[in-house]
Structure 1
Amino acid sequence: MPDESPDDALAAAGYREVPDTQGGRAARGWWDANAQDYLDEHGDFLGPADLLWCPEGLRESQARLLGDVRGARVLEVGAGAAQGTRWLRGEGVDAVATDVSGGMLAAAARLDAATGTRTPLVQADARALPFADACFDVVFTAFGALPFVPDPDRVHAEVARVLRPGGRWVFSVTHPVRWAFPDDPGPAGLTATRSYFDRRPYVEQAADGHVLYAEYHRTVADHVADVVTAGFVLDGLVEPEWPAGHDRVWGGWGPVRGARLPGTLVVRAHRPPS
């Protein structure tokens, strides 16, 4: 992790409006700075080559939310260290990983070296994908891209553009109901303290006011509307339950809250055949 400059020290955090341009570009710098710390904390659970959909522990090897990907060309956006893409390639799938963060892609290259694999890695904003129209059969992301931009409609539009007719789009995000509750994995996280309909992002700022981190809230209805407006057909919503015996705490996720509140929403959709 690079040394933090005084200008980047956290001075304020909370739910507040910030200019879209500032909030939308903060993710790249934050993930560049925190990529290795994130993997040091969560890498054992994520694995070097596995498609984990959520902190509840739902994995693609069990859930098969992408459907049959034999012979498909697959794109992962907001791939982080590309664990999901790496797993798919190990299954014989032609898969490509993209992420806006060079720090995360550098971590992906280190995982490739450690595992003796070779994963196609492309640095790209999910709102401006550097691929031709209709060149993928499946696009997915697990907690990537969508939470960190004020304009998720652009992500959905780009995914629709690069998907072939009939292609599938699957993504997971923090369950929107969680935004009404404190981000606490214990009993304090079980009492709603904010309106579910308050769409102000969670923002961390430096002393001069510039945005260090921003995460955006969309209601369930917002997510569905975004998907449908982009021209997709909604195939289903998945709310993974917290499994018995799963004791891992990850941020606000843990067995106490997981027994009572949904933590993840997975959306499955497809582009209609032409």
Structure 2
Amino acid sequence: MIQHIDHIDSPEPEATRRDAGNTESSRASRGWWDRNADEYQSEHGAFLGDDRFVWGPEGLDEAEAGLLGPAESLKGQDVLEIGAGAAQCSRWLAAQGARPVALDLSHRQLQHALRIGGGLPLVEADAAALPFADESFDLACSAYGAVPFVADPATVFAEVRRVLRPGGRWVFSVTHPIRWAFPDEPGPEGLSVAASYFDRTPYVEQDERGRAVYVEHHRTIGDRVRDVVAGGFRLLDLVEPEWPAWNSQEWGGWSPLRGNLIPGTAIFVCVRD
């Protein structure tokens, strides 16, 4: 699960909206997560747990949601987690008897996976060029990993389809597209529309030389559905988790105040026919 946190480098990068292609986006994501993985795991590790499968800041748990299928059906399944971070979701999958592989672009995030342990297979690679043979996995999943940060998500989806066996599910969560119209603030100031939902211009933070150090790409709900179809999948469900009464935390722009009024996460449940 991924959420933008403050940079620790100085000077502060400039925030802007401009085009950013595949190469620039990938390079920025790798560098940003390598620099910020320690702070991210320190700040959010307790919420994520070492072996929980949480789909987003609302706290929807795969053990409850069953979006990959009933927990008992996971035993013996080969599962690819994309954008795994410290591989918390993969540890939960392994506890159900699955055979997960945790993949991430960031070397430092995977070092945290090694620190926590569990003996999982860890792979450092770009989601747009998966280093696996065709039809290697039964399931693929991503909790806020990779998809929001790539310029061409259909390419990633096509790669996921390639490595999935027929009938395999691909389930991924992203920031809900409606949130792009609102400021990234958890309080009342984040409740007024501040930008066009239809503006697909990427959000970019760049250094003093104009080099992107963080890139996030916006898609509308319709865009996401079209990307799923273009990648060779059939959409089974679109889940918009409601904010639960037990969750009192704020995480970036996510909060109980906003979560009770607008969706913060969208989870796409897809299948390769």
What amino acid sits opposite 2:126 in the alignment?
Answer: D
Match of 1:38 among 36, 40, 50: 40
2:234 and 2:13 map into 1 onto residues whose CA distance is 43
CA contact (8 A) 1:13 1:203 kept: yes
Distance 1:176 1:70 in 2: 33
- Residue 92 of structure 1 corresponds to which residue in structure 2? 97
CA RMSD, Structure 1 to Structure 2 (Å): 1.4
Counterpart of 1:253 in structure 2 is 254
- Correspondence 1:264 to 2:243: no
Asked if 1:108 is matched to 2:113, the reply is: yes
> Residue type of the partner of 2:12?
L
Identity of aligned residues (%): 56
Mapped to 2, the partners of 1:19 and 1:269 lie a distance apart of 26
Query: Quick check: 2:74–2:97 contact (8 Å CA) kept in 1?
Result: no
Runs of 4+ in 1 over 6 A off after TM superposition: none
Contact 2:148-2:218 within 8 A present in 1 as well: yes
Q: Secondary structure at the match of 2:225?
A: helix
Matches within 5 A, 1:179-218: 179-218=180-219
Alignment of 1:125-204 (within 5 A): 125-204=126-205
- What residue identity is the alignment partner of 1:93? A
1:20-79 CA distances to partner (integer Å, 9 max, x unpaired)?
432232100100010010001000000011111010000111111101322211100110
Measure the CA separation in 1 of the matches of 2:211 and 2:38.
23
* SS across alignment from 2:127: coil
Is the Cα contact below 8 Å between 1:10 and 1:204 reproduced in 2? no
**What is residue 59 of structure 2 aligned with on the other side?**
57
- 8 Å contact 1:101–1:123 — kept in the other structure? yes
Letter in 1 for 2:122: L
Query: Secondary structure in 2 aligned to 1:140?
Result: strand
What is the CA–CA distance in structure 2 between the aligned matches of 1:132 and 1:21, rounded to whole Å?
A: 23
The whole-number CA distance in structure 2 between the counterparts of 1:98 and 1:24 is 14
CA distance in 2 between counterparts of 1:24 and 1:73 reads 26
Query: How far apart, CA to CA, are the structure 2 residues paired with 1:14 and 1:245?
Result: 36
The aligned counterpart of 1:69 is: 74
Find the aligned partners of 2:14 and 2:126 in 1 and give their Cα distance.
27
1:264 to partner: Cα distance:
0.2
- 1:151 positional shift: 1.1
2 CA distance for matches of 1:245 and 1:92?
Answer: 29
Give unpaired runs (5+ residues) of structure 1.
none
Query: Which residue identity lines up with residue 198 of structure 1 in the other structure?
Result: D
Q: Which amino acid aligns with 1:174?
A: T
TM-score scaled to structure 2, two decimals? 0.94
8 A Cα contact 2:101 2:120, kept in partner: yes
Cα distance in 2 for partners of 1:176, 1:73 equals: 30
